[in-house]
A and B are shown apart, each in its own frame.
Chain A
Amino acid sequence: MTRRRLENIALAGITLTAGAIWIFPLYWAFVTSIRSDARVVSDGAGLIPDEFNPTSYVDALFNTSLIDWYINSIGTSLIITVVVLVTGMMCAYALSQMQFPGRRLLYLVVLASFMVPAQTLVVPQFELMNRLDLINRWGGIILPQLVVPVVIIVYKQFFDALPKEMKEAVVLDGGGDYTLLFRVYLPLNWGITTALGIITFIMSWNAFLWPFLVVTTENMMTIPVGITQVNDAFGVAYARVMSVALLAAAPVVIAYLIFQKRVTEAVMISSGVKG
C-alpha cells in the first residue's frame, strides 16, 4: 500500500468520525421522536430504533401552535431577508459609488458593528424596543434583525470591483443611480444576492435569543421560541420536543439540500474565503 493511499484512508476515517459526531444529535433526536414517551425514559432504550410511534408528531402538529409558529417564522424570515438585501445593497452602493462627506467613517462604523457580538446589544435593544412600545409586536421581532453588516460589506466589495466605465455608460445613456443599481448592478450580482439571501434567511429562521426575549404571546412566536413552549406545556416530553425540533429544522434542511451549492458559496462569500 502506498503512503498516499494510507493518508487517504486516514483522512477518510477522520472525516467520517467528525461526520458521525456531528450527525449523532440529529440521529438521536430522530430516534427519540419516533418512540413513545414511556419508551424514551425506560431503561432498555438504546441507540437503535426499536419502535415507530408517530404520536409525538401528531401531537406536535395538532396539539401545539406549530403551524402558527411556522407561518410566523416564514413571514418574519422573508420580510427580514428582503429588507436586509434591499437596504444592504443600497447602503453598499452609496458607500461604494457615491461621494459624500463622512463616507469612510460610515463604512468604519459598519465594519465595527460587524465585530460587536449581537448578545452584547440585547439589553439596550430591549430597552429601545420597550420605549418604542414594540415588545410583543412584529416590529419588535423584525427591526433589530434588519442590521446585517456582512451583507453591506460583501455588496460593497462587489460594487468596488466593477469597472467605472459601466457606471459612466449608464450615465451617458441617461440613467441615474437607481437605474445603475437595480437595472445593471443587481442583475450582475444575482449569485451574490441569492447567496446572501440564503444565509440571511437561515440566520433569521434560526434566531432564538432576540425573538425569545421580545415575544411572550404564544401565537406570535417563531419556531425556535415555540419549542420552549412544547417543553412547558407537556412537562419533560422528550419525544414531542424532539419531533417539534426536527419539524422546525426541516425547512432549513430541505432548503439546504436543494440549494447546497449556493449555501456553501454563501458561507464562503460571507466569511471572506471567496470574493
Chain B
Amino acid sequence: MDGVKLTNIRKAFGPFEVIRDVSLEIPKGDFGVFVGPSGCGKSTLLRMIAGLENTSGGRIEIGGRDVTHVEPAKRGVAMVFQSYALYPHLSVAENMGFSLRLARAPRHEREAKVREAARILQLTDHLDKKPSALSGGQRQRVAIGRAIVREPEVFLFDEPLSNLDAELRVQMRLELTRLHRQIGATMIYVTHDQVEAMTLADDIFVLKGGHVMQSGHPLHLYDDPDNRFVAGFIGSPSMNFVSGVVTRADDTGLVARTEEGELRARVLGPKPGPGAEVVLGIRPEHLAPVEAGGLPVRVEVAEELGGQSFVHARSASGSDIVFERRENRARLDGQALRLGAAAEKVFAFTPEGGRLR
C-alpha cells in the first residue's frame, strides 16, 4: 500500500478531544477526501498529517515510514491552503521555486521543475507576474504548482476551492482530477462540500465529532450508508427521513407506519419487532407519486433545473419531503399526492442512527 496510514490517531486541545482514535489508510496514488460538517476535525487531521499540529497519540505513516514526530518539511508532503498562502512579494516562478531555493537546488534544476509545473498548470505565460496580478483560480494553480515542484509523496489540500466562485470551482475540480491522473501521487483533500467529495474522491472518509463515521468509495457510501449521518450527509439534495413504528416484520423486510402513511423497507438481517421505533430514509430520486399507499404530501414549490426538478412537499406532520422528477414538467404546486418508493430503496435506521440492513 505505502500511501498514508493513520493508526489510533488522537488530538486533544486541553481537555477537549477533537480527533478520537482515528485509524485509516489511503493507498499510494489514491485520492482520499475527508468530508464532514464544520468542527468535525477534518482540517485538524490533515494538519496533523502535514505536521503542522502535534499528535496527542497514535502513529502516522507516509510511504511506510513513521513520520509522527518528523518535522513538516521532511515528511514528503506539500500542502495547498484555502487562502493560497502565496508570498506576495515574489513572482509566480519564485513562489513555485521557493522550496527548492531553500533546499539550495541548482538553478537549472529549479528552473526546469518550475517550467514543468507551469506547463502542467498552464501558467507558463504568468511566470513573471506577482500573485496580485492573477485571478483567484490562477493563484490557486500557483499554490498547486508550488506543491508539484516539491515532488512530494502526498499532496494535502485544505478546502482549496472554497474561495472561488461556483463556476470556477467546477472547472478547478475537473483540473484537479486531471492533475491527479497525470501525476499519480497520493492526494488528501479536505472539504465540507459533499459534491466536491463525491466528484473527486477514490475514497471518502466522512467525519463527525472527531470520528470516521464511514469510509469507502463515494458510490458505495451513497448506495449503502452505515448510519443515518452518512446517509444524510452524502447526496444532494439530502435523503428524506421519516420516523415510524414497525407494524410488521418478515424475512425480506419490515413495514413501518409513519404519521403520514405506510412504507416498506428491505431489511434482511436482524430487525426490530412490531412496536419498535425506526427512522426510514429515502433519497429524492427514489420517491415517486403512487396511486395508493405511501406518504400523503402536499406540494409546495418545485426547483426547476431544466432536465430535472426537485419538488419540495410538506407531509401531514409538517416535515419537508423532496422528490426528483425528470422529463415531466406539469405543475404540481398545491396538489395533494401520495409518494412511494421500492422497498429496496428505503433505508431503515434505529432511532440512535444505526443502519438496519
Could you list which residues of chain A lie within 8 angstroms of chain B, going by C-beta atoms? Answer: 163, 165-166, 168-169, 171-175, 179, 184, 187-188
Contact = CB atoms under 8 A, between A and B. Distances in A.
Given A165-B81, A168-B72, 7 more contacts: A169-B146, A172-B79, A173-B150, A174-B73, A174-B102, A175-B102, A188-B88
Nearest to A171: B72
Contact of A166 (B52, B77, B87): B87
Given A163-B83, A165-B83, A169-B81, A174 B99 contact: yes
Contacts of B292: none
Nearest to B52: A168
Interface string B68-79: 000011000111
Contacts of A166: 85, 87
B1 interface: no
Interface of B: 50, 52, 72-73, 77-79, 81-83, 85-89, 98-99, 102-103, 146, 150
B245 to A, nearest CB: 51
Nearest to A186: B89
Contacts of A168: 50, 52, 72, 79, 81, 85
A173 B104 CA distance: 12
Contacts of A174: 73, 99, 102-103
Contacts of A172: 50, 52, 72-73, 77-79, 99
A87 to B, nearest CB: 23
Contacts of B81: 165, 168-169
A165 B83 CA distance: 7
Contact of A173 (B73, B88, B89): B73
Contacts of A184: 87, 89
A111 to B, nearest CB: 28
Nearest to A179: B102
Contact of A188 (B78, B89, B98, B102): B89
Contacts of B146: 169, 173
5 contacts: A163-B85, A165-B85, A168-B81, A172-B52, A175-B73
A171 B85 contact: no
Nearest to A167: B85
A225 B130 CA distance: 48
A188 B131 CA distance: 13
A179 B87 CA distance: 12
Contacts of A188: 88-89
B34 to A, nearest CB: 18
A169 B82 CA distance: 12
A264 to B, nearest CB: 24
Contacts of B50: 168, 172
B71 to A, nearest CB: 8
A89 to B, nearest CB: 16
Nearest to B147: A172
A12 to B, nearest CB: 40
A187 B87 CA distance: 10
A160 B78 CA distance: 25
B84 to A, nearest CB: 8
B119 to A, nearest CB: 21
A236 to B, nearest CB: 55
B83 A173 contact: no
Contacts of B52: 168, 171-172
Contacts of B77: 172
A173 B85 contact: no
Nearest to A165: B85
Which 6 pairs show the lowest CB-CB distances between chains A and B? A174-B73, A165-B85, A173-B99, A169-B85, A187-B89, A165-B81
Nearest to B88: A188
Nearest to A166: B85
B237 to A, nearest CB: 33
Contacts of A187: 89
Nearest to B103: A174
A171 B73 contact: yes
A190 to B, nearest CB: 8
A188 B90 CA distance: 10
Contacts of B85: 163, 165-166, 168-169
A168 B143 CA distance: 13
Contacts of B103: 174
A172 to B, nearest CB: 5
Contacts of B82: 165
A161 to B, nearest CB: 13
A235 to B, nearest CB: 57
Nearest to A187: B89
A166 B81 CA distance: 9
Nearest to B77: A172
A187 B89 CA distance: 7
Contacts of A175: 73, 102
B95 to A, nearest CB: 9
A240 to B, nearest CB: 50
Nearest to B84: A165
A164 B73 CA distance: 17
A242 to B, nearest CB: 46
Nearest to B87: A184
B60 to A, nearest CB: 15
A173 B98 CA distance: 7
A168 B52 CA distance: 7
Most buried by B among A163, A173, A187: A173
Contacts of B102: 173-175, 179
A198 B99 CA distance: 34
A166 B83 CA distance: 9
